[in-house]
Amino acid sequence: MTASWQSIGSADLINLLGLEESLLGGQSFSWSSQGENQWIGVIRRAVVHLRWENEQLQWKSSGSIPIGKKELEHYLWLDDSYCRAIDALPWRSDLSLDQAIKKFSGLRVLRQPIDETLLVFLLSSAKSIPQIKQLRHRIHLNFGEDLGEDLFAFPGWERLSKLSETEARKLGMGYRAKYLVGVAQFLSQRHGWLEEVSGLKYKEARSCLMELPGVGPKVADCVLLFGAGKSQAFPIDTWILQALERQYGMKGWTMQQMQEFAGIHFGQHAGLAQQFLFSFQRSVGQTKSAKKE
DNA sequence: AACCAGGATAGCA
DNA sequence: TGCTATCCTGGT
């Protein structure tokens, strides 16, 4: 890899903390920190290096199919539509959202490939970020293409469909093993199904995905938001639950009521709002105290 | 040595 | 519908 660093994106759309949170904060599990203000990750079969230097974002790419600038700009949501999305959020009347947007300025939703996204969120149940990364890496290492630099590509669902549940359990997946096998076999028999689903409207796509084993409301919303560009998707995990209960006074509400509230209050880009609230809540709430009540 | 974690599901009221 | 126990594994 002899390519040199190139600049990308306009600096006013990016902010160091927000960028790092976007890469490492739990929407993708393919990035890791590589020293100060520098990261390495995999997008499809490309190895991508990013760094923040001289108040600007720089990148270079290698791997068997290096990524192009346009594609990377899309992945990182570096165009103007990001600003418009932020502006459309109700931060003017919502102090909680406002403080989260200020703290994590520049935080964005990454546009990841849907097949890889489905895999990692299938693994995510009751696992922490480092554990999900580890599981993912183990799968990529065993079945995916070697891209160099100790990084491996997503093997594809076709390849994964040849796994048995026993083999999957040996990789440490626990009860998630049967989810992986079930989804892999389903998808290998229906080529193009995922792409078809991601072309549907949000609610239809959501119920389609939830037919897959191991995919409930939360995982479906993550896949749709991070892997299919459905910006209305509003995944409710424990952190968002905390935020909604404590800052929006929604204790006792059902999930369905919360989903409905999110759609009405946050609107078209509820998923972006979710990401800010998620990061903020996680940054202040690392304590396990102050639980229910 | 229990207990919990960024969930889904079956089983029951 | 709404609630609960259970599912694996790794970490505290």
pLDDT tens, position by position, A72-121 = 999 999 999 999 999 999 999 999 999 999 999 999 999 999 999 999 99
- Determine the pLDDT at residue A292: 33
- Determine the pLDDT at residue A247: 93
**Cα separation of A132 and A222, whole Å?**
14
- All structural domains of chain A with their residue ranges: 6-84, 114-227, 238-285
A32-67: pLDDT as tens digits: 999 999 999 999 999 999 999 999 999 999 988 999
- Determine the pLDDT at residue A63: 85
Which 3-state string (H, E, C) describes A82-126?
HHHHHHHCCCCCCHHHHHHHHHCCCCCCCCCCHHHHHHHHHHCCC
Task: Please name the nucleotide lying closest to A177, CA to C1'.
Answer: C8
| CATH number belonging to domain A6-84 | 3.30.310.40
Rounded to two decimals, the pTM is: 0.95
Tell me which amino acid residue A89 is. Answer: L
The CB density around residue A130, as the number of other CB atoms within 10 Å, is 9
Among candidates A83, A30, A75, which has minimal Cα distance to A57?
A: A75
In which residue ranges of chain A is pLDDT below 50? Answer: 287-293
- Determine the pLDDT at residue A1: 55
With a CB cutoff of 8 Å and minimum separation 6, the contacts of A85 are: A231, A268, A269, A272
Strand C interface, protein residues by Cβ within 7 Å: A 126-127, 131, 169, 172-176, 254, 256
Pairing of strands A6-8, A146-148: unpaired
**Which positions of chain B lie under 7 Å from any protein Cβ?**
4-9
Q: Which residue is nearest to nucleotide B7 (CA to C1')?
A: A125
- Determine the pLDDT at residue A5: 96
Tell me which amino acid residue A41 is. Answer: G
Q: Distance, angstroms, CA A251 to C1' C2?
A: 15
- Determine the pLDDT at residue A286: 63
Helix, coil or strand: residue A277? helix
The CATH fold assigned to A114-227 is Endonuclease III; domain 1 (1.10.340)
- Determine the pLDDT at residue A191: 94
Task: Please name the nucleotide lying closest to A255, CA to C1'.
Answer: C2
